[in-house]
Amino acid sequence: MTFALGPALLFCPGDRPERFATALERADAMIIDLEDAVLPAAKPQARENLIAAEVDPARVIVRVNAPGSEAFAADLAALEHTDFRTVMVAKTENAEALDAFHERFSLIALCETARGVHAADRIAAHPRIVAMMWGAEDLVASLGGTSSRRPDGGYRDVARYARSRVLLEAGAHGKSAIDAVHVDIADTDGLDMEAKDAAASGFAATACIHPSQVAVIRAAYRPDAETLAWARAVLDAAADERGVFRFDGRMIDEPVLRHARSVVSRVG
């Protein structure tokens, strides 16, 4: 099982089925949310909407409520009546909780609490995990904090640590990593900066909460013409070389070639 739905993953509340088709049309994949975006009283209707949804299941992720919550079992029961097979597990805090899912499901663990980030290595090792995501706001709330960001808009150190840990543990176990949402919809510059950093750092995708953010994320993950030309040229040069060689005044070895392959892969 692999994850290949990025780079722009758009959340859509499960109680707003009239938005499903538009969200899927605008983004690379849609995350139908049964958790935070849906009030408790509306969750039963959201599950009915999920069952009735006529959208491509291959491009849909369903975010279920946290394992152990009252809503979790009902979410799993609803999934059994659908063709959706990629599930994002909110507030994943231990690998054992993921055993509740049948092996036909591909799971994305959302590590967004102190316990979840602490257990990221064991969660990433679970055989049904295909990707790991982190979340800043719930993480800080779980620590008793009040804000994940500094006054200048940048993440506080604890959020940066969580982001790095989830990315590293995902990579160590051969899984993909998804970057957290940028909640300030109007801050396109901040989103662009974070999405570019995510792509350069190795994230496979970035989640978002508004359709206007999709284009920004896609552009950030797409290499510019100069970088793409360099990557293709250095890979062509490598075909005639053995081991380490010099290209445009720079030493080229296998790690650099892997960087180049990653650049090319982002444009298909």
Domain co-membership, 122 together with 47: yes
pLDDT digits (tens, 9 = 90+) for 203-261: 999 999 999 999 999 999 998 888 888 889 888 888 887 778 888 888 888 888 888 88
> Token pair for residue 194?
């974070």
Q: How confident is the model at residue 264 (pLDDT cuts 50, 70, 90)?
A: confident
| Structural Rg of the chain based on CA atoms | 19
Domain co-membership, 200 together with 254: no
Looking at the domain assignment, is residue 62 inside a domain? Answer: yes
Is pLDDT of 18 > 90? yes
Domain co-membership, 261 together with 152: no
Domain co-membership, 49 together with 108: yes
Domain co-membership, 61 together with 132: yes
Q: Which residue has the higher pLDDT, 194 or 243?
A: 194
Domain co-membership, 133 together with 245: no
Looking at the domain assignment, is residue 90 inside a domain? Answer: yes
Annotate 65-80 with b (16+ C-beta within 10 A) or e (fewer).
bbbeeebbebbbebbe
Is pLDDT of 1 > 70? no
With CA atoms as reference, report the closest residue to 66 among 177, 142, 122: 142
Helix axes 43-52, 72-79, angle to 10 degrees: 10
pLDDT digits (tens, 9 = 90+) for 159-181: 999 999 999 999 999 999 999 99
Percent share of the chain, pLDDT over 90: 81
Q: Of the ranges 22-26, 49-53, 183-187, 257-261, which one carries the lowest mean pLDDT score?
A: 257-261
Residues 6+ apart with CB under 8 A from 65: 34, 35, 43, 71, 72, 75, 90
Looking at the domain assignment, is residue 3 inside a domain? Answer: no
Residue 266 neighbours by CB distance under 10 Å: 16
Is pLDDT of 2 > 80? no
Domain co-membership, 65 together with 174: yes
Domain co-membership, 216 together with 236: no
What is d(CA 221, CA 226) in angstroms, rounded to the nearest whole number? 14
Looking at the domain assignment, is residue 64 inside a domain? Answer: yes
Looking at the domain assignment, is residue 50 inside a domain? Answer: yes
Q: Where are the beta strands (DSSP E) in 44-147?
A: 60-64, 86-89, 106-111, 129-134
pLDDT digits (tens, 9 = 90+) for 94-136: 999 999 999 999 999 999 999 999 999 999 999 999 999 999 9
Range of the domain at 204: 8-221
Q: Is 41 exposed, middle or buried (0-12, 13-18, 19+ CB in 10 A)?
A: exposed
What is d(CA 211, CA 104) in angstroms, rounded to the nearest whole number? 30
Report whether 10 contacts 205 (CB < 8 A): no
Domain co-membership, 158 together with 197: yes
Domain containing residue 172: CATH number: 3.20.20.60
Number of domains in the chain: 2
Domain co-membership, 187 together with 93: yes
